[in-house]
Amino acid sequence: MKILVTGGGGFVGNHLAHKLKDLGHEVLVNDFSDKVSNCLTDFDVFDFDLSKYEYFKQLPKDIDIIYHIAAQTSGYIGLINPELDVDWNMKGTLNVCRFAKEIGVKKVIYTSSMAVYGEGDFFKETDEINPISHYGVSKLCGELYLKQYEQYGIDYTIFRLFNVYGYGQDMENLNQGMVSIYLAQSLKSKTIEVKGSFERYRDFVYIDDVVSALVLGLESKTNGEIYNVATKRKTTVKKLLKLIFEAHNDDTDLFEAKNIGQYDGDQDGNTGDSEKLKKLGWKPSVKLKDGIKKFYNDVKENK
């Protein structure tokens, strides 16, 4: 099949694009040129802003499937510059749907977020949604657009990703990706700056497990469905820092973590239930301790 991956130069999109190509699909990538890494040289790349519908005319008209991964993904950036959430997450998703209708795309597979749930534990896909951030609202809006466009014969699958981590995350971006933020700091200093309580917690999922879930969206039995991509394991910031420090093989007492305050709209914690996804044969295979150690080793080896 001919598949377009929006946000293919980003963390999840890059891994996904390569996986789809390995599976034998013809993969096209949309992203800004400054985000497209050298490892995407074998892909046809379309550099344009998804919030501008007129730019979609660059794309071929025989695309079968769209994986819509592109987004503004930082809750903090969404707080200080909410227009980016509106442009990239809301308008961008609406435009993807408009384009899918225009050329007759069979299906749009969308990465939503745990942020649509708000605070709470072991959320199921049928639970009430209550986003507390601009970012969460914008991702929920994307889900609603997909449901709206189903009436035009466009199938969809929605994956609500919890906290994804692993090699390929932007180590320079200290506003997005809790594992990468703290790991990046630990590689430069023995002092780690933490926003919010050390008892805040997340549900961390390794990138390879996330990609294996997303590929399942190609199966017709996932049409019209929403799936949590989660481990159902609660990890506090305190525990996460301990695992990161241990990955260095140094005395963990050499590191210091200090609280620098919390920003509005940041979730204290939530976790997800992935039993629905597991019924498709998926399961998280990488434990957090092992994933962090692999992430650390990959970063060190590729410096």
Element (H, E) at 241: helix 237-247
Q: What is the dihedral of CA 300, 214, 26, 58, to 10 degrees?
A: -90
Name the β-bridge partners of 120. 270
Amino acid at 252: T
Beta bridge partners of 83: none
Beta-strand relationship, 235-236 and 201-202: antiparallel
Residue 135 annotated as catalytic: yes
CA distances from 128 to 38, 52, 232, 267, 274 (A): 42, 32, 17, 16, 16
- The catalytic residue among 67, 117, 135, 227 is 135
Nearest to 119 by CA among 260, 292, 268, 299: 268
Q: Please give the backbone phi and psi of residue 171, each rounded to the nearest 5 degrees, phi first.
A: -75, -10
Catalytically annotated residues: 135
